[in-house]
Chains A and B, each alone.
Chain A
Amino acid sequence: MNELMMIPLIARIRSIREVTFDTLMFEVAIEKDGKEVPFSYLPGQFAELSVFGVGESPISITSTCTRPGLVEFAVREVGLVTEAMHNMRPGDNMGIRGPLGNGFPVDEMKGKDILFIAGGIGLAPLRGLINYVLDNRSDFGAVDIIYGARAPNLLCFDWEFDTWKAAPDTRVHLTIDAPAAGWNGSVGFVPAIVKELALPPGNRLAVACGPPIMIKYVLEDLAAAGYRDEDVITTLEMKMKCGVGKCGRCNIGAKYICVDGPVFRLSELKTIPSEY
């Protein structure tokens, strides 16, 4: 358990791919005592990635456990640790502790239609779940993906869109905030597209990830459309250091985002103070 509790394994960078101008995706192999070791996880879990000598940050696992091998993380440069990550090269070592957090309730999601709603880098945790669902296509019902960003070049993981569109009974609805040259998809904020599409609840679960302001409106719209709180799933982000429920900073009420989350149903969120 040491690799969870403060002592990291090595994550060796195999390749780095540009996701947007400020976000890079790292494909890493996990090593223990100099040997590559398997790393199993669930969609929606995260890891504490570190740059030795700089610090540690929680980052969602964006690859899917249905495709064993390298593990993928998409990192947006916002501060000290993420900047240091952006200066790394293939072959370099990060530290890794994980997988951490609860992950999405994939077993309970089986048999359901799923509406994925994401904004910006919020697609990172959802990408692993979407690929999990599509890799187990017959276990799930209809799939709709609403994804938006401020501008076309800020859409993350654009190389996935054609594959997702080609999957059976799967639709991808892309949107950007304002008109842009060469863009012929939807224009408008994510919540507006959610309203416009008006997918009825029925047997459908909604899974939403994105900036807090987007989530706020999306949750309101889903409630207005008749979605039950148990059928709306989202993730919370809080500053954290240990990722294992001990450093004491990621709690909202009695829940610790690192161990009780980061994935919550809206029905659970209604039982804790709305500090997030």
Chain B
Amino acid sequence: MTVIGYMKRSALEGVLGDISDKLEVIAPLPSGDKGAVELRRFEKGAQVSIGPVKPMLPLKTIFLPPVEQIFRFSKSENETTVTASTPITRDRVVFGALGCDIAALALIDEVFLREPVDEAYRERRTRTTIVALACEGQGPECFCASVGIDPVRPGGADVVMIPVKDGFIVETITKKGEQLGTMLQGALRDPTGPQKKTARSFTSTSRSDVDLSAPAGGWSAVWESEAWEDASARCIGCGICTVVCPTCHCFDVHDERHGNGGERFRKWDSCMAVNFTMMAHGENPRPQHRARVRQRYMHKLVYFPENHGAVACVGCGRCAVACPNRTGIGEVADRMREREEDSNE
């Protein structure tokens, strides 16, 4: 049964502490002393940073960790034993997830849950309950509303918490959410009329005027666009945009040997790195910086939509904030279409 109730902000840490006896709890916690926030395991006594600061790294880190062991192996005379690693040991709940980050998971699902299914990712996904925090917009960089995301009640959330005076209205949405709802019951009160009203009228400042659409004609219409020239001229190739992006999911695979055994692990990789596609015999299909910049934007704006029916951008704006020259995907998309209009004249 759907649970709706009012929870006091001051009760939150206590509630999370109680839940952490049963589930692993992940929440936005302070990172350093400069006001930054990161999603990590909540331990009793910690202070949650629920508020107007986006975690530096997106929610994907909880499902595709930056470095992840795939298996361990051990060798004897003529035998090798391979033991798949255990992705997680407990069911989990993530509190305070933002709509953009949650929407990105649905895009990553398209890749990691199709055959052959990535079992480690699936296990993390199915064993994690997602509690969204309705987002009022976290600054001028936010444009999730432009890509069809509801920042207040985002699709993919199991429970939504909507900030009201001194607390939240908590609404369970899915079956998983209802199960969590039973653990929250004790801290919930019947909402008052004004509280309900505030929750209903909660709105976000997320921009809805960013246009990421690609022109008709697919990749060939924009292949020679000057957008790539412009964006690559400013880009220093640091790749921070791919690190902070909630939808980027490329990885590299490495082995390590320890004595008679060892491990294989995967780690995030970036299409902005020159050796990303460099082959053993020295050939590289994308040797130029411009070709790599084009690949990054084309993947988001053209190739992913062609394969999965949606742009691979959720409008969180982290790339533009993190980029040393503040390049935002919206301007690149504008420039990309501009070129096409020019050549149509």
A residues with a Cβ closer than 8 A to B are: 1-2, 4-8, 10, 34, 50-56, 78-79, 82, 91-93, 95, 212, 237-239, 241-242, 244-249, 251-254, 272-273, 275-276
Contacts and interface: CB of A to CB of B under 8 A. Distances in A.
B303 A254 contact: yes
Main secondary structure on B side of the interface with A: mixed
A182 to B, nearest CB: 29
Given A54-B255, A247-B253, A5 B78 contact: no
Contact of A249 (B78, B79, B115, B269): B269
A238 B219 contact: no
Contacts of B112: 246
B283 A212 contact: yes
A56 B253 contact: yes
11 contacts: A7-B82, A52-B73, A52-B264, A54-B257, A56-B264, A241-B266, A246-B112, A247-B253, A248-B299, A275-B285, A275-B286
Given A1-B116, A212-B283, A254-B303, A53 B219 contact: no
A272 B306 CA distance: 12
A275 B291 contact: yes
Contact of B116 (A78, A91, A239, A244): A244
Given A55-B253, A237-B279, A93 B271 contact: no
Contact of A248 (B82, B119, B249, B278): B249
A52 B263 CA distance: 8
Contacts of A272: 219
A231 to B, nearest CB: 23
B256 interface: yes
Nearest to A247: B251
Contact of B279 (A5, A239, A252): A239
A93 B306 CA distance: 41
Contact of A6 (B73, B118, B255, B256): B118
B78 A91 contact: yes
Contacts of A273: 219-220, 223
Interface of B: 70-71, 73, 75, 78-80, 82, 84, 111-112, 114-120, 219-220, 223, 249-257, 262, 264, 266, 269, 271, 276-281, 283, 285-286, 291, 298-299, 302-303, 306-307
A107 B270 CA distance: 39
A4 B281 CA distance: 26
A241 B250 CA distance: 10
Nearest to A275: B285
Given A52-B262, A55-B255, A249-B271, 6 more contacts: A1-B119, A6-B118, A53-B257, A249-B250, A251-B303, A253-B219
Given A246-B112, A247-B252, A254-B302, A5 B118 contact: yes
B306 A254 contact: yes
Contacts of A5: 116-119
Q: Which of B264, B271, B276 has the most CB of A within 10 A?
A: B264
A5 B116 CA distance: 6
Contact of B277 (A245, A249, A254): A249
A50 to B, nearest CB: 7
B269 A238 contact: no
A239 B78 contact: no
Contacts of A8: 82
Nearest to A3: B116
B256 A4 contact: no
Contacts of A91: 78
A10 B80 contact: yes
A211 B220 CA distance: 26
Nearest to A91: B78
Contacts of A237: 279
Nearest to B120: A6
A53 B281 contact: no
A228 B264 CA distance: 45
Contact of B79 (A56, A78, A93, A242): A93
